[in-house]
Amino acid sequence: MFFLWPQYLWLLLTLPLLPAAYLWLLRRRGKPALRFSSLGVVRSAAATRHWRRHVPPALMLLACAGLLIAAARPVGQVPLPWARSTIMLAMDVSLSMSVSDVKPTRLAAAQDAAKLFLRDLPANIEVGLVTFAASSQVVQRATLDRGSLVAAIDGFQMQYGTALGDSVVQCLAELFPDQGIDLGELTFGSKRRGRSLDDRAKPPPQQITPVAPGSYKSAAIILLSDGRRTVGVDTLEAAKMAADRGVRIYVVGLGIVEGEAAAAGGLPIYMQLDEPTLREVARMTGGEYQHAGTAEKLRAVYEHLGSRLQVQTRETELTGLAALISALLALAAAGLSVLWFGRIA
């Protein structure tokens, strides 16, 4: 724990003055009682020395201490739900995903695992969905509506090509809409023709100050692919864009590492999983790489990611909590004083 305004902690040195003032008041009130003593007065004095008379002042002392600590603005490491956070799922829909080495097919296994992941994810985490083959597209913007996400996952259409880097850039554009990230400009350059009105309405690209990889705690990207980049933005260039923004990329490599496999119609498809690049993407961004060779292992990977993404230990300012506890202590002191003695002071 540390304090944003530690200079206010010096005020805690004034706290011993309160017990001293309290004892002085007790002695001052006791003098008239000794001067006009009688049996009734003695009994009354004995009753007032009961331990209950000291409870409200003690609670008020703790309340004052809590308020002084709150004034110093304490900050502590607190495990909290990842509130108002976003996960972008980037899923490969290239033709090689129809191969059946992962039963029933790679795509079907990935769809089932993704839906299981959504089911187990906390309801307050938004999820967006990006698919990629020869091009990348947002099929579902970040939402809390799990039904819309499941419908989008069930509606995948396979295509040729694998634009791994494009999918990462597309996810970043969704996560940081104000930064003017333009996939078209990265692919074709700033002089490309035929820009749409939506493209022209986008904010100009911003120069950002790179942050530590993995330091952005409000979002993450989960990238699933069974191949290597064939078109689009360079994969490591896209990974650097994510790393500079502190966004972690969790990579799932699916299927065989190298060789040929048969597609659903018997057509042989050559596929070689680019594990070195995928591992480097995860390393650069502070994420993790997992190879999932079976449907069961793929589901286990998604479950693992779900458990990792549910709770984050964050530096959280505790000023409000300290002030609330102090207020409750003060109210308890006043309430007990009225209940036991019929007065607040």
Q: Residues 112, 253: one domain?
A: yes
Q: Residues 69, 107: one domain?
A: no
73: in domain: yes
40: in domain: yes
Q: So what's the pLDDT on residue 31?
A: 56
Q: Residues 29, 92: one domain?
A: no
Q: Residues 98, 180: one domain?
A: yes
The radius of gyration computed from the CA coordinates of the chain, to the nearest angstrom, equals 32
Q: Residues 205, 222: one domain?
A: yes
HSE (CB half, 13 Å, CA atoms) of 134?
Answer: 6
Q: Residues 249, 270: one domain?
A: yes
Q: Residues 188, 133: one domain?
A: yes
Q: What percent of the chain has pLDDT over 90?
A: 39
Question: SS3 string of 293-338?
Answer: CCHHHHHHHHHHHHHHHHEEEEEEECHHHHHHHHHHHHHHHHHHHH
Q: Is the pLDDT of residue 61 over 60?
A: yes
Domain of 13, in residue numbers: 2-77+316-341
Tokens 């493209």 correspond to 199
Per the structure block, which two tokens stand in for 166?
């494009």
Res. 244 pLDDT band, cuts 50 70 90: very high
Backbone angles phi, psi at 313, to 5 degrees: -90, 115
Domain count, the chain: 2
Buried-exposed string 220-246: b where 16+ CB fall within 10 A, e elsewhere:
bbbbbbbbbbebbbebbebbbbbbbbb
35: in domain: yes
Q: List for the chain the helix, strand, coil content (%; round to 5).
A: 50, 20, 30
305: in domain: no
Q: CATH code at 196?
A: 3.40.50.410
Under 8 Å between Cβ of 81 and 122: yes
Under 8 Å between Cβ of 239 and 269: no
Q: Is the pLDDT of residue 262 over 80?
A: no
pTM over the 0.85 mark = no
132: in domain: yes
Q: Residues 110, 229: one domain?
A: yes
Q: Residues 164, 274: one domain?
A: yes
Interval 168-215: pLDDT, tens: 999 999 999 989 898 888 776 654 445 554 555 556 667 889 999 999
In angstroms, the CA 171 to CA 220 distance is 9
Report how many helices (DSSP H) and strands (DSSP E) the chain contains, helices first: 12, 11
Q: Residues 39, 94: one domain?
A: no
276: in domain: yes
Which helix (H) or strand (E) segment holds residue 169: the answer is: helix 164-175
Interval 292-341: pLDDT, tens: 877 777 777 787 777 767 666 667 888 998 999 999 999 998 888 888 87
306: in domain: no
SS3 134: coil
Burial of residue 26 (CB within 10 Å: 0-12, 13-18, 19+) is: middle
298: in domain: no
In angstroms, the CA 317 to CA 4 distance is 9
Q: Residues 179, 120: one domain?
A: yes
Q: Residues 203, 245: one domain?
A: yes
Interval 65-103: pLDDT, tens: 999 999 999 988 776 655 558 899 999 999 888 887 778
In angstroms, the CA 220 to CA 103 distance is 28
Res. 226 pLDDT band, cuts 50 70 90: confident
Query: Which residue from 95, 73, 52 is spatially nearest to 7, judged by alpha carbons?
Result: 73
In angstroms, the CA 129 to CA 90 distance is 6
